[in-house]
Chains A and B, each alone.
Chain A
Amino acid sequence: AQSVSQHNHHVILSEAASLELGCNYSYGGTVNLFWYVQYPGQHLQLLLKYFSGDPLVKGIKGFEAEFIKSKFSFNLRKPSVQWSDTAEYFCAVGGSSNTGKLIFGQGTTLQVKP
């Protein structure tokens, strides 16, 4: 079955702390991988994506993620979080054959304390 699992449901960090959010997926075939972010009161926005090439991808606002095929993982990282990073983060997987739908994880709520 196709699924995405995000390990942490709620993370609380102080400003300047490092962040790593786990994401593992189960999907047959070659995948495209995404991290989306939803800031309070706003709609889902793309943080970064992987579809081919360098498995270390860099996104907006200093975020990066590493695709480790052998571990079926796509963890999100940021070396130093800011209060403005407080948001909900969703990992998603889609088929590289452009089959359309995305499968999302349940999300991780990140709270950054000033």
Chain B
Amino acid sequence: DTGVSQDPRHKITKRGQNVTFRCDPISEHNRLYWYRQTLGQGPEFLTYFQNEAQLEKSRLLSDRFSAERPKGSFSTLEIQRTEQGDSAMYLCASSLAGTASNEQFFGPGTRLTVL
């Protein structure tokens, strides 16, 4: 499968714990995005990278959230001191910069439950 992959698919944690998610984009894509989706809502943009540079961060992304893409390939999203309000589906997407439409391809998501 050459699509976007995410790991883990599900994560249950206790409030106050740290969690880290991984995203592997489509191999030739140089842009990688993180979104968050809660029940009954559409995905909300969190941040995106072009190669290893983080180009934009949403105001939704509190200082407990950090994302990296150290070698311009896979990315990690870490949430420190998790809160119940962090429970959501975390989606990763990738695209190829320079294409006219900027079509983004989504992974299956990581569902986080904070108890």
Contacts and interface: CB of A to CB of B under 8 A. Distances in A.
B88 to A, nearest CB: 14
B35 to A, nearest CB: 8
A62 B103 CA distance: 20
Interface in A54-109: 90, 92, 94, 98-107
B22 to A, nearest CB: 16
A100 B56 contact: yes
A100 B42 contact: no
A101 B56 contact: yes
B100 A51 contact: yes
Contact of A44 (B31, B91, B101): B91
B103 A101 contact: no
Contacts, number: 60
A46 B100 CA distance: 15
A101 B42 contact: no
Interface string B72-111: 0000000000000000000101000110111111111100
A101 B33 contact: yes
Interface string B26-37: 000001010100
A56 B40 CA distance: 29
B8 interface: no
9 tightest A-B CB contacts, nearest first: A104-B42, A44-B106, A101-B45, A51-B101, A43-B108, A100-B48, A104-B43, A90-B42, A107-B42
